Structure 1
């Protein structure tokens, strides 16, 4: 079987945008690399170029997503401040997603770099498991290890009651320090 030809940078970028816009599910760099017969690193560069052009692409722990400009006024969002040990991360995330709440990101305040924000975008146990597994498999550290376990999450849900219920469970578990509306 002959090797597939590599496609041009502009064609790859068009394909990336088209496929990300067509789905609500994350697509990994490796998936794009296979489809276009290039390395994952080339895809990372293409995505960086697209971001520089203003495309709202976000890298999550599950892959790339395209943020639509549609703002859903039915979603409620708050920022919570949490503290726990790295081994309690799965419990923390489960306590949140079990209430139908999405965890958008994690934020830590670094003494040199200032606020460091990483997109998480998990909203169910399967995605939490994949996130934690990826951290463990890559021997990466959680950002909260930079701040003695203190970190923030932006969380959102379709009702304030779901956010309050998640916060109540986090408080019972001794994880929630405060919440900001």
Structure 2
């Protein structure tokens, strides 16, 4: 199979999935290395395909909007010990966490794709942070950060705000 055809099929795989698909899974499907797929994804992005890399794999950015869902932004502040609690509060109240955004003093805005929609997703994210000994982005800003949320309704968003406020995580001045 030629590389151009493989990249078209990668797009088809991503179009057919509402969940992230790992580079290893895609590589296995084409009997190539994971690194070949990483390169293919880079070329697809360079060709203006909106592919997001999440902790669990690749997803088309359009798939995160999910028809009929509201996209909202929430400001949070907490230490590392409250990270999992924050994620649980959001997903337990019906919203998904699309990304995390911090304002860096040198680089400006930095965002990380999360795509967390359940406790299972949150647990996998935390396990990967621990396994890789990686620091969460909020460590760069004294705990202050934004999340883009995918919410099924305004009521779900209001529940999230209320629960984050109650837990002292909602950043309000």
* Band the TM-score falls in, shorter-chain normalisation: over 0.9
Greater per-residue helix proportion: 2
CA gap 1:68/1:76 in 2 versus in 1, 3 angstroms: closer
Match of 2:106, SS?
coil
Please name the residue that 2:112 is paired with: 118
Counterpart of 1:162? 156
2:99 is aligned with 1:105: yes
Secondary structure of the equivalent of 1:177?
coil
After superposition, the CA RMSD in angstroms is 1.9
Contact kept, 8 Å, 1:76 with 1:159, in 2: the verdict is yes
The equivalent of 2:134 in structure 1 is 140
Q: Structure 1: how far apart are the matches of 2:35 and 2:64? A: 30
Alignment of 1:65-104 (within 5 A): 65-68=59-62, 74-104=68-98
* Rg (Cα) greater in structure: 1
Following the alignment from structure 1 to structure 2, what is the Cα–Cα distance between the partners of residues 40 and 46?
10
Give the stretch that moved more between structures: 94-103 or 40-49: 40-49
Gaps of 5+ in 2: none
Tell me if the contact between 2:14 and 2:59 (Cα under 8 Å) persists in the aligned partners.
yes
1:60 matched residue in structure 2: 54
Q: 1:46 to 1:144 in 2, by over 3 A?
A: same
Aligned to 1:43: 37
Which shifted more, 66-75 or 28-37? 66-75
In the alignment, which residue of structure 2 is the partner of 1:30?
24
- Cα separation, 2, equivalents of 1:27 and 1:143: 23
Paired residues in the alignment total 173
